[in-house]
């Protein structure tokens, strides 16, 4: 009675959707059940996968933190201009105004010798000794923020020609070098990540291949009973997804634990440089990306392992 009413009340595609969902639900949970059947083996596999995912993830987080540190520092396009000794406040203000009129300059900030001394005093303990010995030896300083695309070296040369200017330092050189090293590190990390992703694929693929080998008999029986290739394959694909999911979660945990452990010493180091830099942990978006990568690799590894092998098993 009930069955026939259901058949009348539902369209054919809803019934087939229901059957499809049932088949997928079955595959999903039977795959999970098998994961729990051999906890030690599977646990070891998952740990290997998690470590392989943790290394590049940590590298990326480190690079991101490095980038953040650089963004806080002066930009490579900034110039620092030192007036000659004894230059007056008016002279410095005049020069600052002239430079503000230059289209290549975005902003000019002037710092008096007293301000500079106060800053120096705050950062080190030598200032008092310095003042006692010679009076304030520091000159007026102008710091210039340049428009994007301006060649800092050329402008520095130009400004240095002015008689009231003692020296112009182009702060960017070391920053440029550091940025180049970061780019190199990023490239190296992508390559390393690619290698480790390949390792994840191979480990998942090999695990699934072993699973297929131990369940050959079952696969034959299910095929005899009328299971399609897709039906036979599905639990293995879900098995790959479960491996990826577990490994991704464990990797997230490992990365977070590592960052948590490194946080306090990093803060101490930053403080000793007078910076309030804080090591940044995994953001939600990064966790999502990590999980997506883990799931995709798990699925793909299982997909590749099953592609040929399951077809090759023909029932006797």
Partner 1 sequence: MEAIRFDQVSKRYPGGQDALTTLSFGVNGGEMVFITGHSGAGKSSLLRLVGALDRPTRGLVQVLGENLGRLSRRAVPRYRRRLGLVFQDHRLLMDRSVFHNVVLPLVVAGVAADESARRVRAALDKVGLLGSEGKRPLQLSGGERQRVGIARALVGKPELLLADEPTGNLDPNLSAEIMGLFASFAEAGTTVLVASHDLALVQRMQKRVLVLEKGKLIDDFRPRSRHER
Do residues 111 and 141 lie in contact, with contact meaning Cβ atoms separated by under 8 Å?
yes
CB of 66 to partner 1, least distance (A): 53
State in angstroms the smallest separation of the CB of 209 from partner 1: 20
Comparison of 13 and 273: residue with beta carbon closer to partner 1: 13
Out of 7, 19, 109, 190, the only residue in the binding site for partner 1 (CB under 8 A) is 19
- Which CB atom, from 18 or from 187, has the smaller least distance to partner 1? 18
For position 8 contacting partner 1 by CB under 8 A, the verdict is no
Sole binder of partner 1 in the list 14, 22, 68, 183 (CB under 8 A)? 22
Question: What tokens were used for 146?
Answer: 């340049």
For 80-115, b where at least 16 C-beta lie within 10 A, e where not — what string? bbbbeeebeeeebeebbeebeebebbeebebbebee
Of 90, 226, 274, 312, the one binding partner 1 (CB under 8 A) is: 226
Q: Is 264 in the site for partner 1 (CB under 8 A)?
A: no
CB of 207 to partner 1, least distance (A): 19
Contact between 224 and partner 1 per CB under 8 A = yes
Residue 20 binding partner 1, by CB under 8 A: yes
User: 36 vs 218, 240, 243, 246, 297, CA distance in Å?
Assistant: 18, 14, 11, 12, 21
CB of 226 to partner 1, least distance (A): 4
Asked if 28 interacts with partner 1 (CB under 8 A), we say no
CB of 302 to partner 1, least distance (A): 20
Looking at beta carbons only, is 100 or 311 nearer to partner 1? 311
If the CB atoms of residues 18 and 283 are measured against partner 1, the closer one turns out to be 18
Judged by CB under 8 A, the number of residues near partner 1 is: 23
- Is 210 a binder of partner 1 (CB under 8 A)? no
CA 189 – CA 48 distance, rounded (Å):
19
Classify burial at 149, counting beta carbons within 10 Å of its beta carbon; exposed 0-12, middle 13-18, buried 19 or more.
exposed
Residues 128 and 120: their CA atoms lie apart, in Å, by 10
Which residue lies nearer to partner 1 by CB, 84 or 222?
222
Query: Which of the stretches 46-54, 118-126, 136-144, 214-222 binds partner 1 when contact is defined by CB under 8 A?
Result: 214-222
- Between CA 117 and CA 123 the distance in angstroms is 10
**Residue 39 is a binding residue for partner 1 (CB under 8 A):** no
Among 227, 249, 266, 304, binds partner 1 (CB under 8 A): 227
Q: Which residues in this chain contact partner 1 in the complex, by CB under 8 A?
A: 3, 18-20, 22-23, 26, 217-218, 220-229, 231, 314-316
């Amino acid at each position: 009675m009930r069955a026939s009413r259901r058949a009348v009340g539902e369209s054919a595609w809803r019934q087939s959707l229901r059957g499809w969902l049932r088949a997928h639900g079955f595959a999903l949970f039977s795959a999970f059940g098998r994961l729990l059947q051999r906890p030690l083996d599977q646990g070891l596999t998952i740990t290997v996968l998690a470590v392989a995912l943790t290394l590049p993830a940590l590298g990326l987080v480190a690079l991101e933190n490095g980038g953040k540190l650089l963004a806080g520092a002066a930009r490579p396009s900034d110039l620092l201009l030192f007036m000659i000794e004894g230059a007056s406040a008016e002279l410095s203000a005049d020069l600052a105004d002239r430079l503000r009129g230059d289209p290549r300059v975005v902003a000019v900030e002037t710092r008096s010798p007293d301000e500079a001394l106060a800053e120096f005093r705050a950062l080190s303990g030598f200032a008092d000794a310095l003042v006692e010995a010679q009076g304030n030896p520091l000159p007026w300083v102008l710091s210039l923020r340049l428009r994007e695309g301006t060649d800092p070296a050329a402008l520095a040369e130009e400004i240095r020609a002015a008689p009231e200017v003692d020296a112009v330092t182009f702060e960017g050189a070391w920053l440029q070098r550091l940025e180049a090293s970061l780019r190199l590190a990023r490239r190296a990390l992508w390559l390393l990540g690619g290698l480790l992703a390949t390792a994840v694929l191979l480990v998942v693929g090999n695990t699934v291949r072993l699973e297929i080998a131990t369940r050959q008999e079952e696969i034959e029986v299910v095929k005899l009973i009328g299971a399609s290739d897709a039906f036979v394959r599905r639990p293995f694909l879900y098995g790959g997804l479960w491996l990826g999911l577990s490994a991704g979660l464990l990797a997230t945990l490992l990365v977070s634990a590592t960052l948590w452990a490194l946080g306090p010493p990093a803060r101490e180091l930053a403080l000793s440089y007078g910076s309030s830099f804080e090591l940044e942990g995994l953001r939600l978006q990064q966790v999502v990306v990590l999980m997506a990568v883990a799931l995709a690799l798990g699925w793909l590894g299982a997909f590749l392992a099953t592609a040929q092998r399951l077809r090759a098993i023909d029932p006797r």
